[in-house]
C-alpha cells in the first residue's frame, strides 16, 4: 500500500516535470516561429538580401540551421520540434555555423555546474554547522552579530557581492603596488598553458580561475543556510520528541544527531536541491562580471548575437536543470521523511 502511494506521488511529480519542459518548449517555439517578423522569417529575408540567395535556397538553409521543416504546416512543425527537443537536438548555432547547439552547451554547462556546485556545497556545510551552533548559543554575545551578518548576506543581491569581491581582490591596490590577485589573468575557465585532464596542474588551474565565482556563490548563499538551519533547529528544540528524548536520559550527542539534526535538515536538504537549479539560472550576471565561460555567459552571447537556436537551447537546458533539481528535491524529501508517503 505504502509503495503504491509513493509511486503515485512520484509519478505526479514526473508529470509536472514533463509538463514544465513542454510548456517552455511551446513558448519558445511560438516566439521563434509564429511571432510577426519572427527570427526564421528574418533569417530568410536577411539571407536573400545580403547574400543574394533565392527564396528556396534561403529556406533550405533556414531549415537546416533551425532544424525545422519549414514546408510543413505549423502544427506538424511543432510536433517535430518537440520530438527534436526530446532528443536534445536543438539544431545548429547561427553564429558559429556547423557547430551544433548541444556541443556548445556540453562544453559550457560543466563549468557553471562546477562553480555553482562547489560554492553551494561549501556554503551549505558551513551554513548548516554555523546555524546549528547559533541555535544552541542564543544567549551568547556573538549570536546577534552572526545572525545579523547572515541576514545581511542573504538580502544583498549576489552580483553586488561579486562586484565587491572584484574590487577588493582585483582593483584596489592595498599596498600601493599590486592587487591581491591578478584578476585579468584569472578570466576564463582555465589558462592556455595547461592541458585539460586529470592532472594536478589543470585541477589547480581551474580552481584558481573559478576561485572568485565560487567565493561569490558561497557568500551569497551562506546567510540563507545559517538562517534556515538556525530556525529549523530552534523549532526542533521545542518539539515534544526532543523533550521526551532528553527525559529518557539519552546522551546530548545522540539527541542532537538522531532527533534534532535529522528533522531540522529535512526542509534544508530540499531547499539545497532547489537552489542549485535556480543559481544555474541566475549565474549569468556573475559569469559576465568575471568573464567566466559558463552557460550563463553563453546565453548572453547568444542573445546579443541573435543566435536563436543557441538561445533556446541554453534556456531549455537551464529549465531542465531546474526541473531536475526540483524533482531531486522531492525525491530527497520522500526518502528522508517517511511521513510524506502517507500524505500523498
Partner 1 sequence: MATKDVPYVTLSQSTRLKKLFEQIRYAILNNKAGLFGFVLLSLIVVMSVIAPVVFPLDTVSDPSKILQAPSSEHILGTDHLGRDIWKQIANGGRELLMLSLVTASIGVFLGLALGAFSAVIGGIFDSVMVFLADVWLSIPRLPLLVVFSGFFRLDSLTLAIILGILSWAGLYRTIRSEVLSLKQRDFIEAATMQDLSTSHIVFREISPNLIGFIAVNFTLLMRAAIYAQVGLFFLGILPLEQNWGVMINQAWTQGVIYNPNSILFILAPTIMISILIISLVWVGKALEDVFNPALRN
CB closer to partner 1, 226 vs 311: 311
Grouping H, G, I as helix, E, B as strand and the rest as coil, residue 92 is strand
| Closest approach of partner 1 to the CB of residue 207, in Å | 24
Are 142 and 226 a contacting pair, CB within 8 Å? no
Q: Does 322 bind partner 1 (CB under 8 A)?
A: yes
Q: What residue has cell string 556541443?
A: 103
Site mask for partner 1 (CB under 8 A), range 106-145, x = bound: ----------------------------------------
CB closer to partner 1, 178 vs 195: 178
Are 268 and 228 a contacting pair, CB within 8 Å? yes
CB closer to partner 1, 255 vs 318: 318
Q: Minimal CA–CA distance to 292: which of 110, 170, 136? A: 110
Which of 25, 216, 221, 312 contacts partner 1 by CB under 8 A?
312
Among 85-93, 116-124, 217-225, 305-313, the segment contacting partner 1 (CB under 8 A): 305-313
Cell, residue 329: 528535491
54 C-beta neighbours (distance < 10 Å), count? 10
Q: Minimal CA–CA distance to 288: which of 278, 272, 269, 303? A: 303
Site mask for partner 1 (CB under 8 A), range 8-47, x = bound: --------x--xx--xx---x--x---x---x--------
CB closer to partner 1, 83 vs 144: 144
Site mask for partner 1 (CB under 8 A), range 253-292, x = bound: ------------------------xx-xxx-xx--xx---
Q: Minimal CA–CA distance to 260: which of 111, 96, 136? A: 136
**φ, ψ for residue 73, nearest 5 deg:** -60, 155
32 C-beta neighbours (distance < 10 Å), count? 19
Report the sign of the C-alpha dihedral through residues 258, 259, 261, 265, in that order.
positive
Residues making contact with partner 1 (CB under 8 A): 16, 19-20, 23-24, 28, 31, 35, 39, 151-152, 155-157, 159-160, 163-164, 166-167, 170-173, 184, 277-278, 280-282, 284-285, 288-289, 296, 299-300, 302-303, 306, 308, 311-312, 314-315, 318-319, 322-323, 326
Amino acid at each position: 500500500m505504502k509503495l503504491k502511494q509513493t509511486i503515485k506521488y512520484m509519478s505526479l511529480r514526473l508529470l509536472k516535470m514533463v509538463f514544465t519542459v513542454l510548456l517552455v518548449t511551446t513558448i519558445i517555439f511560438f516566439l521563434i516561429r509564429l511571432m510577426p517578423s519572427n527570427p526564421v522569417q528574418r533569417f530568410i529575408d536577411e539571407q536573400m538580401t545580403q547574400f543574394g540567395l533565392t527564396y528556396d535556397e534561403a529556406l533550405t538553409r533556414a531549415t537546416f540551421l533551425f532544424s525545422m521543416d519549414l514546408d510543413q504546416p505549423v502544427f506538424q512543425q511543432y510536433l517535430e520540434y518537440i520530438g527534436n527537443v526530446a532528443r536534445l537536438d536543438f539544431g545548429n548555432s547561427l553564429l558559429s555555423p556547423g557547430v551544433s547547439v548541444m556541443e556548445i552547451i556540453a562544453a559550457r554547462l560543466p563549468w557553471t555546474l562546477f562553480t555553482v556546485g562547489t560554492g553551494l556545497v561549501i556554503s551549505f556545510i558551513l551554513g548548516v554547522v554555523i546555524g546549528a551552533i547559533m541555535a544552541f548559543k542564543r544567549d551568547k554575545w556573538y549570536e546577534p552579530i552572526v545572525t545579523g551578518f547572515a541576514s545581511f548576506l542573504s538580502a544583498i543581491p549576489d552580483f553586488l557581492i561579486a562586484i565587491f569581491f572584484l574590487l577588493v581582490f582585483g582593483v584596489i591596490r592595498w599596498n600601493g603596488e599590486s592587487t591581491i590577485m591578478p584578476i585579468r589573468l584569472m578570466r576564463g575557465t582555465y589558462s592556455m598553458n595547461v592541458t585539460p585532464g586529470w592532472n594536478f596542474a589543470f585541477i589547480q588551474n581551474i580552481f584558481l580561475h573559478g576561485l572568485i565565482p565560487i567565493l561569490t556563490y558561497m557568500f551569497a548563499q551562506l546567510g540563507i543556510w545559517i538562517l534556515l538551519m538556525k530556525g529549523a533547529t530552534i523549532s526542533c528544540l521545542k518539539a515534544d520528541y526532543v523533550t521526551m528524548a532528553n527525559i529518557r536520559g539519552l546522551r546530548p550527542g545522540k539527541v542532537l544527531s538522531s532527533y534534532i539534526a535529522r528533522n531540522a535538515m529535512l526542509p534544508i536538504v530540499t531547499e539545497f536541491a532547489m537552489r542549485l537549479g535556480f543559481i544555474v539560472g541566475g549565474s549569468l550576471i556573475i559569469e559576465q562580471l568575471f568573464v567566466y565561460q559558463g552557460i550563463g555567459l553563453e546565453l548572453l552571447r547568444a542573445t546579443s548575437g541573435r543566435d536563436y537556436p543557441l538561445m533556446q537551447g541554453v534556456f531549455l537546458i537551464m529549465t531542465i536543470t531546474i526541473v531536475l533539481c526540483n524533482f531531486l528535491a522531492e525525491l530527497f524529501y520522500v526518502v528522508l521523511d517517511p511521513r510524506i508517503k502517507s500524505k500523498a
